[in-house]
Structure 1
Amino acid sequence: MTASRGTFHSIWVLVLVSQLGAEVRPQSTTFDYAAMAESTGEMDYNEYVMQCEKKDVRLFLRAFLPAVYAVVCLLGLLGNGLLVLTYLCYKRLRTMTDVYLLNLALADLLFLLTLPFWATSVVHQWLFGRLLCKAVHGVYRLSFFSGMLLLMCISIDRYFSIVQAASAHRHRSRAVHCSKWVAVSVWLISAAFSVPDVLYSDEWGGSGTTQHCRLQQGMQSLIYTASVQLSFGFFLPLIVMVYCYCVVARTLLARTFEKNKAIKVVSAVVLVFLLFQLPYNSMLLLDTIGDANATVTDCSLNKRMALALDITKSLAYVRCCLNPLLYAFIGVKFRNDLRRLLKDMGCMSRDKLPWLDVCKPVASSVRASVVTDTNSTTTYSP
């Protein structure tokens, strides 16, 4: 009697469970894969997310990135180092552009000092600890934002120096003092933008596994960081630079002296910025959209995007080598000071530095007076 009552009770419980269906859920979801395979005849993996293996991408980047970083670091340190030495030795902070160029060179040097850490981590792993991980991420972001904002400030200064030349000359001494405060503000704003990188960067990897230095962000934080970088690190400087240099080019077209050379320099500045920054920021935008919407599920497409992001990023780094050439070395007075510096250091004699010789004087007294009075490189540089 007791056995029959227990049997009846078990059957009644099974009936209740079958009737409730979706409302009764077990505490743990353990699947019997053997029973599933027996009932269906084969396993269906289509509903399971497979990990995308990127070993071939890592092998390529392990050879490509350190080589690019080494070239960029050496050339960038040489060019920006000469620029800083020239300004410090001859105290050439006579214009707003001089102040911005010195700070731009310092920002580029800070950025270049982070490249050996990234190159080492690509080849091996992150070997420098948690503190340096946060410091390198913070310095990288600080130098990135300050560099972009200083390029924007240079374009604004060139706008006033050329389009509003008379007014700029009258307020030159006051403008130099103002530019120092602007440079300090740029550094403070950039430091504020770099705070998330310091907070969210950390070593990643368990005990006995490969260590990486990465940003550990949630999706909302990732979207915010990428949006700030794209807005203030690319779109705002791009809009300001394009507007200022378009007006500068239109003004220069109305002049008769050194028009062609100045227009070429202005065009080169804008084209270099677009050529080296637009691909990386476009890929960063696509990558952020893909992460936010989880739209990239194809493994081959995922690998191509990861490869394109790293290649375009390394291309953007090359711009640090070109900044001294585009903004300083083309200036007549700066070339004079750089030639003096190299001669004083005993590096080369004057006859071995033809690329640093100033342009030959011309008969036009008007042109000569413009260059002398403005005490800048308005005629030769943007």
Structure 2
Amino acid sequence: MHSGSGLQKLLPAVLIWVMDFKSCLSQHEENPTTANYSEYNYSNVDYDDFPALCVKESNRHFRLWFMSTFYSSICFLGLAGNLLVILTFFYFKRLKTMTDVYLLNLSFADLVFALSLPFWAANSMAEWVLGLVVCKAMHTIYKVSFYSSMLLLCFISVDRYFVISKAVSAHRHRSQAVFLSKVSSAVIWVTAMIFSIPEMTYTTINNNTCTPYSSTSDKLRVGIQASQIVLAFALPLFVMTFCYSSIVQTLCQARNFERNKAIKVILAVVAVFLVCQVPYNLVLFWTTVVTAKGGTEDCGYENRLLYATDVTQCVAFLRCCLNPFVYAFIGVKFRHDLLKLLKDFGCISQERFFRYTCARRRSSAANDTETTTTFSP
């Protein structure tokens, strides 16, 4: 009797304990993360395994004042200088030589490039809000004007090489020179558009920024930057070096009072090209190498590359406002036409115009000839 009553009391207790145990197991299965979180030891987490976010706040502040100041100055000077060249050519109908045609096209290329600079400044300083169409147009216009400008500099040096170093053969084709220059200029613009196809195709809005690249380790970036270095720097540098070195050798053998002046002009042309293009292309080459290796995890190093790219790129952009002075305004005949244009538009007085032009004639009576552009690259 006592044992039966004891079992009757024990069985309900055992059943209750089993039911509680099953409910505990079911709760553990429904929410397993609760037990995992309670048992996880956070002191053993290695936070070095997680990628650290590279903060570029200092570079962003630098761009706010640097890009706006530099781009505004380049845009203003580029618009003023190239518009004066274009107006002078059309006002006096001055397309008489191959160099004249190339200079006019060069001014158009630099003018279009200068017009795109405000959009570049906006893209560098703030989020892009102008849409994908304007984004693609900005990069395409920039690359078309950039490649056409570099190719035109090549053709100008080639034309000067034939006119000076190969004067006899150049004189035979003088009647066809203007027509050939117009055809070659059209070919240059088409070639520049072909070279710009990657920007037309891949440019998009990434992280609120207008860019053809998805990241700093994008393989597409390697191809685009490598082709730019070869086509827009190495090729023009090789052609200009060959042509102008041959021209200098020819001029050194000539006995002409304009020889020293012509050599100084050529040295100025080469110096401007090297100073503007070499630093940027060196930085561009190094960033291409870093990108090809998969990028860098050193945040300070990445920021220094950004600073170097911004500064050297702005120096390279100076070409659009320096080309009119180096290639056009340096010629005496062109300067005379420019002064006459300013006089006709009422920008300078007639007395000042005659005082300046008469002084120039007395100092160099033979400069005001048709051969002015011969020695002015």
Q: Please report the TM-score for the alignment, with normalisation by the length of structure 2.
A: 0.84
1:22-37 to structure 2, matched below 5 A, reads 37=41
Q: Residue 299 and residue 34 in structure 1: after superposition, are their counterparts in 2 closer, same or farther (change >3 A)?
A: farther
1:1-382 to structure 2, matched below 5 A, reads 37-38=41-42, 41-205=43-207, 211-217=208-214, 219-256=218-255, 257-294=257-294, 296-352=296-352, 359-360=360-361, 372=369, 375-379=371-375, 381-382=376-377
Following superposition, the deviation at residue 135 of structure 1 comes to: 0.6
Query: What do residues 63-102 of structure 1 show as CA deviations (whole Å, max 9, x unaligned)?
Result: 1011000000001100000000011111111100000000
Verify the 8 A CA contact 1:280 1:312 in the aligned structure 2: yes
Verify the 8 A CA contact 1:332 1:358 in the aligned structure 2: no
- Aligned AA for 2:211? R
Q: Residue 44 and residue 251 in structure 1: after superposition, are their counterparts in 2 closer, same or farther (change >3 A)?
A: same
Q: Distance in 2 between matches of 1:303 and 1:356?
A: 52
Query: What do residues 344-374 of structure 1 show as CA deviations (whole Å, max 9, x unaligned)?
Result: 111112444577777435799xx67xx74x5
Verify the 8 A CA contact 2:63 2:124 in the aligned structure 1: yes
Q: Distance in 2 between matches of 1:378 and 1:349?
A: 30
Following superposition, the deviation at residue 315 of structure 1 comes to: 0.6
Q: Distance in 1 between matches of 2:358 and 2:227?
A: 43
Q: Distance in 1 between matches of 2:186 and 2:265?
A: 28
SS of the equivalent of 1:378 reads helix
- Aligned AA for 1:119? A
Q: Residue 86 and residue 35 in structure 1: after superposition, are their counterparts in 2 closer, same or farther (change >3 A)?
A: farther
Verify the 8 A CA contact 1:110 1:139 in the aligned structure 2: yes
- Aligned AA for 1:59? H
Q: Distance in 2 between matches of 1:356 and 1:363?
A: 11
Q: Distance in 1 between matches of 2:161 and 2:135?
A: 40
- Aligned AA for 2:134? L
Stretch moving more, 298-307 or 342-351: 342-351
Q: Distance in 2 between matches of 1:162 and 1:140?
A: 33
CA RMSD of aligned residues (A): 2.2
Q: Please report the TM-score for the alignment, with normalisation by the length of structure 1.
A: 0.83
Q: Distance in 2 between matches of 1:34 and 1:216?
A: 44
SS of the equivalent of 2:373 reads coil
Specify every segment of 5 or more residues in structure 1 that has no aligned partner in the other structure, as ranges. Answer: 1-31, 206-210
Q: Distance in 2 between matches of 1:340 and 1:53?
A: 55
Verify the 8 A CA contact 1:146 1:190 in the aligned structure 2: yes
Report which of the two has the higher share of helix: 2
SS of the equivalent of 1:296 reads coil
Specify every segment of 5 or more residues in structure 2 that has no aligned partner in the other structure, as ranges. Answer: 1-35
Verify the 8 A CA contact 1:253 1:259 in the aligned structure 2: yes
Verify the 8 A CA contact 2:99 2:373 in the aligned structure 1: no
Q: Residue 249 and residue 125 in structure 1: after superposition, are their counterparts in 2 closer, same or farther (change >3 A)?
A: same
Following superposition, the deviation at residue 253 of structure 1 comes to: 1.2
Q: Distance in 1 between matches of 2:343 and 2:308?
A: 44
Stretch moving more, 345-354 or 333-342: 345-354
Q: Residue 235 and residue 124 in structure 1: after superposition, are their counterparts in 2 closer, same or farther (change >3 A)?
A: same
Verify the 8 A CA contact 1:339 1:350 in the aligned structure 2: no
**Count of equivalent residues:** 338
Verify the 8 A CA contact 2:206 2:214 in the aligned structure 1: no
Following superposition, the deviation at residue 36 of structure 1 comes to: 6.2
Following superposition, the deviation at residue 252 of structure 1 comes to: 1.1
Q: Residue 359 and residue 166 in structure 1: after superposition, are their counterparts in 2 closer, same or farther (change >3 A)?
A: farther
